Amino acid sequence: GGEVRFEGVRFDYDGKRPILKGLDFTVPAGRTLAIVGPSGAGKSTIARLLFRFYDVTDGAIRIDGQDIRTVSQASLRRAIGIVPQDTVLFNDTIGYNIAYGRPDADPETIAEAAQLAQIAPFVEQLPDGYDTMVGERGLKLSGGEKQRVAIARTIVKDPPILLLDEATSALDTHTERDIQAALERVSQGRTTLMVAHRLSTVVGADEILVLDRGEIVERGRHAELLARN
């Protein structure tokens, strides 16, 4: 994995209201950093900046020391795998959805990833909403199953950096635990930045930052934060 570093990152959407007010943190290569905080704190904005949906207003984001503004969009997108809160599926087979981002992936790789993510029985199927001219209907996947598709996609893509943006927050508690365990396996060996609103979902992180209104108000490991609060 590559090292991800935020250096004095400030950001606003409109040139007026500051959203991120000078963030400094490093995710060492292969480690997991979690950012937790209430809704509106700026967590998703951090994720959007790392993927360069927006550029920082001030400061810099670096991957292995290189300012991401000097990295091509294509290689940035190759380097980072994202598991969002709700995975949106394309109107094609689940297998195609898993291969998305790696159109050159061979069927064996896709099958293996589907197996690891425990979504293998669905690979040949079409997602819900798919309506062919012959009247074929798609399969309705649950939230957990859609996250498994996203996990399989990540395994195929094999990026050094993983961005988990509220990846389990739309799931019921039982499914959440299941998907969390799968995400922990897939994050092994990758630099992982995870964003969540509850401390209980980021137990395994190497470091946790508590974000409030665009500022880091606490940092530590899970047990340390629990002991202090």
Using the minimum distance from each CB to ligand ADP, give the nearer residue, 45 or 87. Answer: 45
Site for ligand ADP in 107-126 (CB under 6 A): 116-117
Print the binding letters for residues 128-167 with ligand ADP: x by CB under 6 A, - otherwise: -----------------------x---x------------
Single residue of 182, 196, 202, 209 touching ligand ADP by CB under 6 A: 182
Closest approach of Cβ 152 to ligand ADP, in Å?
8
Using the minimum distance from each CB to ligand ADP, give the nearer residue, 14 or 136. Answer: 14
Residues in binding contact with ligand ADP, number by CB under 6 A: 18
Decide if residue 201 touches ligand ADP (CB under 6 A).
Answer: no
Query: How many other C-beta atoms lie within 10 A of the C-beta of residue 207?
Result: 19
Per CB under 6 A, the segment of 37-45, 57-65, 93-101, 135-143 that binds ligand ADP is 37-45
Q: Burial, 76: exposed, middle or buried (Cβ in 10 Å; 0-12, 13-18, 19+)?
A: middle
Task: Report how many helices (DSSP H) and strands (DSSP E) the chain contains, helices first.
Answer: 7, 10
Sheet with 32-36: strands ordered across: 80-83, 161-165, 191-196, 32-36, 207-212, 215-220
| Backbone phi and psi for residue 80, each to the nearest 5 degrees, phi listed first | -115, 125
Using the minimum distance from each CB to ligand ADP, give the nearer residue, 58 or 130. Answer: 58
CB-side neighbour CA atoms (13 Å) of 126: 11
Amino acid at 173: T
Sequence-separated (6 or more) residues with CB below 8 Å from residue 127 = 89, 90, 91, 94, 97, 138, 139, 141
Decide if residue 66 touches ligand ADP (CB under 6 A).
Answer: no
Decide if residue 19 touches ligand ADP (CB under 6 A).
Answer: yes
Rounded CA Rg of the chain? 18
Q: Which residues in this chain contact ligand ADP in the complex, by CB under 6 A?
A: 13, 19, 37, 39-45, 116-117, 151, 155, 182, 185-186, 188
